[in-house]
């Protein structure tokens, strides 16, 4: 990993680890959002990072006794940075670090916004069992062939004006066309920050992550969604109560 031109000291990625109780049998890598272009150092106080801490805490609280460790990846830089795709290299490093510490345990990626785009880019890693992409940033030119063997859930608020729900649905279609398994879920009544329907976002994240890692059965409503694909869009509206797994916000 090299620093941008003019930067004398290369930064390094890191992880905030919430360990399993006992032996680690699975890892959830939590990937925060960021900016389209910025070589400013990523800091723990940035809003994009703070937004994902409740998800990390909830996954850990529900999963630590089942062997789940939760790692929140801290990127070197705040931005995606065009062809550099800065967070992709950082997340590849984190996946290698999981294997160095815990061997070939299964990994689920949970990414918001730029973190969703990063998760898609590294979804071909052999340790990755599934991707939970929350309001991901997707461009129509982003490749999907690397997800030919992946299981992907994309959830997007219908009021999001920061990233595109339509682009997310098109990307889910492209994953399926490439041979992967993908479901697309609309969270009705929420925006990019995921604050209005936080119980629904939590239910989506925990249900899919635990299901894809084999820590619990995949919720039936999610399993049906993944089986039918994005051509029949799943909707999780304000009044919906799928299952009995109530959400928490940390």
CATH code, domain with 95: 3.40.50.1820
The domain total for the chain is: 1
How far is Cα 52 from Cα 54, in angstroms, rounded to an integer? 6
Looking at residue 239, what is its pLDDT? 38
Looking at residue 3, what is its pLDDT? 55
Q: Does residue 9 form part of some domain?
A: no
Q: Does residue 108 form part of some domain?
A: yes
The share of the chain scoring above pLDDT 90, in percent, equals: 84
Q: Does residue 249 form part of some domain?
A: no
Q: Does residue 59 form part of some domain?
A: yes
Q: Is residue 154 within a helix (H) or strand (E), and if so which, with residue range?
A: strand 151-157
* pLDDT of residue 242 exceeding 70: no
Structural domain boundaries enclosing 148: 14-236
How many Cβ atoms sit within 10 Å of the Cβ of residue 222? 22
Give the SS3 label for residue 57: helix
* pLDDT of residue 240 exceeding 50: no
Looking at residue 167, what is its pLDDT? 97
Mind listing the pLDDT tens digit for each residue in 135-180? Answer: 999 999 999 999 999 999 999 999 999 999 999 999 999 999 999 9
Band (pLDDT 50/70/90 cuts) for residue 227 is confident
The pTM assigned to this predicted structure is 0.90
Q: Does residue 124 form part of some domain?
A: yes
Q: Does residue 19 form part of some domain?
A: yes
Q: Does residue 244 form part of some domain?
A: no
Looking at residue 244, what is its pLDDT? 35
* pLDDT of residue 92 exceeding 90: yes
Nearest of 94, 95, 142 to residue 114 by alpha carbon: 142
Band (pLDDT 50/70/90 cuts) for residue 243 is very low
Q: What is the mean pLDDT of the chain?
A: 90
Q: Phi, psi (5° rounding) for residue 14? A: -150, 175
Mind listing the pLDDT tens digit for each residue in 25-74? Answer: 999 999 999 999 999 999 888 889 999 999 999 999 999 999 999 999 99
The torsion of the CA quartet 234, 249, 42, 147, rounded to 10 degrees, works out to -30
Looking at residue 245, what is its pLDDT? 35
Mean pLDDT in residue range 205-221: 97
Band (pLDDT 50/70/90 cuts) for residue 233 is low
* pLDDT of residue 4 exceeding 70: no
* pLDDT of residue 91 exceeding 60: yes
Residues with Cβ within 8 Å of residue 211, at least 6 apart in sequence: 217, 218, 219, 222, 223
Q: Does residue 98 form part of some domain?
A: yes
Looking at residue 237, what is its pLDDT? 44
Least confident of 86-95, 167-176, 186-195, 230-239: 230-239
């Amino acid at each position: 990993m090299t620093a941008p031109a003019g930067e004398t000291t290369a930064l390094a990625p890191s992880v905030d680890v919430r360990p399993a109780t006992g032996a680690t049998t699975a890892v959830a890598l939590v990937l925060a959002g960021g900016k389209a272009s910025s070589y400013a150092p990523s800091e723990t106080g940035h809003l994009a990072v703070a937004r994902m801490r409740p998800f990390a805490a909830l996954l850990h609280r529900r999963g630590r006794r089942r062997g789940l460790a939760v790692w929140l990846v801290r990127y070197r830089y705040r931005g995606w940075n065009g062809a550099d795709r800065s967070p992709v290299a950082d997340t590849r490093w984190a996946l290698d670090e999981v294997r160095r510490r815990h061997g070939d345990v299964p990994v689920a990626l949970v990414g918001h916004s730029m973190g969703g785009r990063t998760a898609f880019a590294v979804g071909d890693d052999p340790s990755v069992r599934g991707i939970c992409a929350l309001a991901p940033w997707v461009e129509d030119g982003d490749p999907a062939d690397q997800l030919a063997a992946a299981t992907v859930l994309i959830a997007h608020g219908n009021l999001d004006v920061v990233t595109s729900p339509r682009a997310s649905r098109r990307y889910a279609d492209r994953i399926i066309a490439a041979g992967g398994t993908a479901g697309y879920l609309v969270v009705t009544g929420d925006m990019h920050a995921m604050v209005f329907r936080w119980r629904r976002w939590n239910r989506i994240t925990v249900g899919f992550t635990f299901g894809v890692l084999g820590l619990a059965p995949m919720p039936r409503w999610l399993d049906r969604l993944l089986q039918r694909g994005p051509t029949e869009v799943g909707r999780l509206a304000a009044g919906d109560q799928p299952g009995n797994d109530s959400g928490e916000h940390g």
